[in-house]
């Protein structure tokens, strides 16, 4: 090779390795971008605060969330409520329980429902979608058949209004916190399945998959080693966003009275439902749990959106 | 004996409709009866406009698409009928370099993983250390730094990525490499580098290439034998110099006439054939000669009814035209309603945009791209 081409090569090398000489995988780069995103930092802070409250809440709560300590001060029939004061920071609820303690303790259940439900939907949905996508990528007539049948079932699930589906499941399984988790989780299944399958389908048609086949790589390795890892980012983003939806839906189911049968046990959705009756005279009782739900959902949404941007291959520098 | 021989290869893609049950409503005749042979150590160039089936043909050789009919004989074995697993093992000896250097590399794999994957699949090298040794050798050969191993595809330039693609094919020590538009995604200066690299490697390692390209200058530069494809079949095949000096098929002549000549005086006075009409759909190809709908030399008899076979005109020059001799001798002149033959001075030298608009013909569309490569090849 002439010196001229050598020079061009050297130039290309220099421009290719500005930052690191060891190379950064896409995950590492995404993490770097995520750290630099304001949205991600705010979202993570909100989520972090929420998780800390959920974990330590019951121990730091100044009063028992179920104890009715100030019975003589709240008279619902006369619309007399106690607002925020020194010993009860957020005031008292309709049964004269400390609202602040109930908010702290309630966070745990809300978080638990959100995480368990999303995990459930994510796991089952990803398994179904992954299997369907893998069948399609592995190819053949059988693979296409399997995919068609699975996807039509998923379509049917997707066609039902999610809240209606959740209500039906909760109605069949009876009233409990587990029911809420299952109901909310099941609703998420088709979303994850479709998303992963679609991503795998798109990746399956890409050039590097063709190149792997030309190289003589076995089909199973192509499906699991090439297609699946490249299809995960939209699903991970969706999982983060789903946490927000799951919390809202769990709250909605609790609000509808399908959650924990023990109404004394604090949960933001239940608290919102109970506060509804006294909304005219004590609106703050509804606003606290509502604000909790909204801010938490916002945190997950912010983080999810930031992750979507960080993982977007089009933004790759 | 030829190393690679295609006998009447057909690749038809079914067009399916239906929700639960697939119903085939038609076929796209992407490759429709191609026969050719490639000698060891040779470079066979395949040219043709977009959609003529040259890429599909290349993929059919590696069985990346199913061969509908015909034989792909590689070193005495018909690949078209091989069971999947045996075909997979044969791929060590037949490799491919892709058009899109970035798209054909998995973004989540580092270079070492990309290059060792093929060896793992074919059981080459006892352990990772041995494979790494081999990878280092190949990296040096294609002109990539050794510290590339732990880096990822997006950290390289286009030319470097294509070198990675070439290294990936080379590391298996194949006999044949099918290069599907190996340089069309690269800058002109980088195109020359990659082409030179391919040629050097061929000399060093005795490789056989099938180069697929739409770029006439690149193909001319690198090929020993060139085949011209139109709508799924080969219309002309000849040793590179012969084909460019005296193209015999009307389509080839139109294609060649679209290549600008660097000499302005020659450029002004040379014959240009502007094809009219669009490329017919490969789902519904015309009967008889595939080219008769656009051929300036179309005759009343045979063209629309008989499908011409490739005939040897001597010296390895094969043409699929009923009237090749008559056209070459000037006994048949082009009919002007079918196409426009422009001699110097009658119209302005074609600008790519203007001519593409007025003819819609691929021959003219190719002009822009060819121009680039002509510079590269000089």
pLDDT band at B369 (very low <50, low <70, confident <90, very high): very low
Residues of chain B positioned with their CB less than 8 A from the CB of A210: 59, 64, 98, 104
Please, are residues B348 and B336 in contact by the beta-carbon 8 Å criterion? no
pLDDT at A21 over 80: no
Share of chain A above pLDDT 90, in %: 14
Does residue B367 have a pLDDT over 60? no
Structural domains of chain A in order of their starting residue, each with its CATH number:
27-315 (1.10.3720.10)
What would the two tokens of residue B178 be? 């099918």
Assess whether pLDDT exceeds 70 at residue A9.
no
Contact residues on chain B for A23, CB-CB shorter than 8 A? 110-111, 150-152, 155
Q: How far is A99 from chain B (nearest CA, A)?
A: 50
Contact B107, B153 (CB under 8 A): yes
| Residues A214, B64: C-beta atoms closer than 8 Å | yes
Residue in chain B lying closest to A231 (CA): B108
Integer-rounded Cα radius of gyration of chain B: 22
- A15 pLDDT band (50/70/90 cuts)? low
Residue B138: burial class (beta carbons within 10 Å; 0-12, 13-18, 19+): buried
Among all residues of chain A, which has the CA nearest to that of B99?
Answer: A207
d(CA A55, CA B113): 42
Q: What is the DSSP letter of A256?
A: T
B27 lies within 8 A of chain A by CB: no
Q: Is residue B280 part of a domain?
A: yes
Q: From residue B223, how far is each of B37, B220, B238, B245, B315 by CA, in Å?
A: 14, 6, 10, 14, 16
Q: Can you tell me the distance from the alpha carbon of B253 to that of A12, in angstroms, rounded to the nearest whole number?
A: 40
pLDDT band for position A26 (50/70/90)?
A: confident
Q: Is residue B333 part of a domain?
A: yes
Q: How large is the average pLDDT for residues A285-311?
A: 88
Any domain includes B334? yes
Tens of pLDDT, residues B167-222: 999 999 999 999 999 988 888 888 988 999 999 999 999 999 999 998 888 898 89
Cβ contact (<8 Å) for B98 and A210? yes
Contact criterion met (CB below 8 Å) for A77 and A23: no
The nearest alpha carbon in chain A to B91 belongs to A216
Binning pLDDT at 50, 70 and 90, where does residue B165 land?
Answer: very high
Give the model's pLDDT for residue B339.
53
Does residue B371 surpass a pLDDT of 50? no
* Interface predicted TM-score (ipTM) of this complex, two decimals: 0.80
Length of chain A measured in residues: 317
Asked if A11 and A17 touch (Cβ cutoff 8 Å), the reply is no
**Could A212 and B89 be called an inter-chain contact, meaning their C-beta atoms sit closer than 8 Å?**
no
pLDDT exceeds cutoff 50 at B125: yes
Q: Do B157 and A16 touch (CB under 8 A)?
A: yes
What was the pLDDT predicted at B274?
80
CA–CA min distance B197, chain A (Å) = 9
A150 touches chain B (CB under 8 A): no
Residue B95 pLDDT more than 70?
yes
Residue B240 lies in a domain: no
Q: Which residues of chain A make contact with B92, given a CB cutoff of 8 A?
A: 216
Nearest CA to A181 out of A169, A194, A164 is that of A169
Judged by a CB distance cut-off of 8 A, whether residue B48 touches chain A is no
Judged by average pLDDT, the poorest of A206-220, B205-219, B245-259, B325-339 is: B325-339
**Mean pLDDT score of chain A, rounded to an integer?**
83
**Residues A3 and A266: beta-carbon distance below 8 Å:** no
CB A249 within 8 A of CB B155: no
pLDDT (0 to 100) of residue B262:
81
Distance CA A93, CA A35 (A): 40
Q: Which residue has the tokens 């066609």?
A: A159
| Chain A positions in Cβ-Cβ contact with residue B110 (cut-off 8 Å) | 23, 25
Asked if B152 and A23 count as a contact pair (C-beta separation under 8 A), the reply is: yes
Q: Which of A13, A23, A207 sits opposite B98 (nearest CB)?
A: A207
Tell me if B293 is assigned to some domain: yes
Residue of chain A nearest B174, judged by CA positions: A215
- List chain A residues with CB under 8 Å of B122: 216
Residue count of chain B: 378
Mean pLDDT, rounded, for A14-38? 71
The 10s digit of each residue's pLDDT in B268-303 is 887 778 887 788 888 888 988 989 888 888 888 888
d(CA A262, CA A58): 17
Nearest beta carbon to residue B143 from set A9, A207, A316: A9
Q: Does residue B72 lie in a domain region?
A: no
3-state helix, strand, coil in chain A (%, to 5): 75, 0, 25
Contacts of A22 in chain B (CB under 8 A): 150-151
Task: Determine the Cα–Cα distance for residues A126 and A98; give it in Å rounded to an integer.
Answer: 42
Answer whether A140 touches B (CB < 8 Å): no
Q: DSSP label at A81?
A: -
Residue B338 pLDDT > 60, yes or no? no
pLDDT value, residue A44: 93
Tell me the backbone φ, ψ of residue B18, rounded to 5 degrees: 120, 155
User: What's the number of domains chain B is made of?
Assistant: 1
Here the tokens at position A179 are: 């029911």
A189 and A91 in contact (C-beta within 8 Å)? no
Angstrom distances, CA of residue B158 to CA of A145, A254, B116: 39, 56, 21
Task: Provide the chain B residues 286-345 that lie in CB contact (below 8 A) with chain A.
Answer: none
Q: Is B203 part of a structural domain of the chain?
A: no
Structure tokens at A14: 């220099």
Interface test mutation site (partner B, options A13, A199, A215, max chain B beta carbons within 10 A):
A215
Tokens for B5, please give them: 């021989």
User: What residues contact B229, with CB distance under 8 A and at least 6 apart?
Assistant: B34, B46, B47, B48, B52, B53, B54, B57, B235
Contact yes or no for A23 and B155 at CB 8 A: yes
* Residue contact A214–B62, C-beta within 8 A: yes
**Element spanning A56, H or E:** helix A38-60
Q: Which domain holds residue B301?
A: 246-377
Contact of A16 with chain B, judged by CB distance below 8 Å, is answered with yes
Instruction: Give CA angle at B6 (B4, B10), nearest 5°.
Output: 145
Q: Is residue B330 part of a domain?
A: yes
Is pLDDT larger for residue B368 or for residue B229?
B229
């Amino acid at each position: 090779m002439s010196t001229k081409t050598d020079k061009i090569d050297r130039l290309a090398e220099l421009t290719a390795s500005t930052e690191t000489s060891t190379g950064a995988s896409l995950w590492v780069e995404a993490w770097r971008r995520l750290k630099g995103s304001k949205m991600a930092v705010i979202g993570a802070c909100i989520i972090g605060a929420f998780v800390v409250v959920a974990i330590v809440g019951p121990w730091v709560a100044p009063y028992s969330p179920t104890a009715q300590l100030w019975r003589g001060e709240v008279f619902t029939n006369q619309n007399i409520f106690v607002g925020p004061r020194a010993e009860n920071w957020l005031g008292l609820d309709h049964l004269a329980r400390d609202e602040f303690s109930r908010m702290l303790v309630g966070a745990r259940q809300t978080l638990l429902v959100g995480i368990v439900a999303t995990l459930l939907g994510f796991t089952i949905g990803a398994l179904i979608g992954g299997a369907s996508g893998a069948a399609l990528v592995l190819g053949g007539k059988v693979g296409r058949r399997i995919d068609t049948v699975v996807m039509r079932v998923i379509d049917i699930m997707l066609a039902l209004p999610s809240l209606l589906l959740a209500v039906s499941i909760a109605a069949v399984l009876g009233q409990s916190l587990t029911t809420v988790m299952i109901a909310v989780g099941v609703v998420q299944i088709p979303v994850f399945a479709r998303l992963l399958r679609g991503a795998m389908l798109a990746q399956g048609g890409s050039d590097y998959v063709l190149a792997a086949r030309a190289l003589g790589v076995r089909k199973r390795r192509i499906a699991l080693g090439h297609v699946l890892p490249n299809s995960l980012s939209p699903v991970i983003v969706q999982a983060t966003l789903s946490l927000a939806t799951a919390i809202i839906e769990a709250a909605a189911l609790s609000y509808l009275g399908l959650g924990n049968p023990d109404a004394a046990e604090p949960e933001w959705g239940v608290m919102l439902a109970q506060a509804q009756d006294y909304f005219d005279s004590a609106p703050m009782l509804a606003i606290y749990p509502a604000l909790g739900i909204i801010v938490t959902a916002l945190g997950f949404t912010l983080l999810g959106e930031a992750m979507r941007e960080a993982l977007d291959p089009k933004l790759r520098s | 004996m030829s190393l690679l021989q295609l006998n009447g290869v057909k690749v038809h893609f079914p067009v399916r409709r239906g929700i639960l049950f697939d119903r085939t409503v038609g076929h796209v005749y992407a490759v429709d009866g191609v026969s050719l042979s490639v000698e060891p150590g040779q470079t066979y160039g395949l040219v043709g406009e977009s959609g003529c089936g040259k890429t599909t043909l290349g993929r059919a050789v590696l069985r990346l698409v199913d061969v509908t009919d015909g034989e792909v004989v590689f070193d005495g074995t018909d690949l078209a009928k091989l069971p999947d697993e045996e075909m997979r093992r044969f791929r060590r000896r037949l490799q491919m370099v892709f058009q899109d250097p970035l798209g054909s590399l998995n973004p989540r794999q580092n270079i070492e993983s990309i290059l060792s994957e093929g060896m793992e699949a074919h059981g080459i090298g006892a352990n990772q250390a041995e494979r790494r040794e081999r990878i280092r050798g190949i990296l040096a050969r294609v002109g990539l730094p050794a510290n590339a191993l732990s880096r990822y595809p997006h950290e390289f330039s286009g030319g470097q990525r294509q070198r990675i693609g070439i290294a990936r094919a080379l590391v298996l020590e194949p006999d044949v490499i099918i290069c599907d538009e190996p340089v069309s995604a690269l800058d002109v200066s980088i195109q020359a580098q990659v082409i030179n690299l391919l040629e050097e490697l061929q000399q060093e390692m005795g490789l056989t290439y099938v180069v697929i390209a739409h770029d006439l200058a690149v193909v001319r530069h690198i090929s020993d034998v060139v085949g011209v494809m139109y709508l799924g079949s080969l219309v002309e095949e000849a040793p590179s110099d012969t084909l460019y000096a005296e193209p015999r098929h009307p389509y080839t002549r139109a294609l060649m006439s679209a290549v600008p000549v660097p000499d302005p005086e020659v450029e002004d006075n040379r014959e240009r054939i502007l094809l009219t009409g669009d490329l017919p759909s490969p789902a519904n190809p015309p009967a008889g000669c595939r080219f008769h709908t656009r051929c300036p030399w179309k005759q009343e008899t045979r063209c629309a009814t008989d499908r011409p076979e490739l005939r040897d005109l001597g010296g390895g020059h094969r043409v699929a035209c009923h009237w090749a001799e008559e056209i070459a001798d000037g006994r048949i002149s082009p009919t002007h309603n079918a196409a426009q033959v422009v001699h110097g001075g009658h119209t302005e030298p074609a600008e790519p945009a203007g001519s593409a608009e007025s003819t819609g013909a691929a021959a003219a569309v190719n002009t822009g791209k060819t121009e680039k490569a002509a510079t590269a090849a000089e």
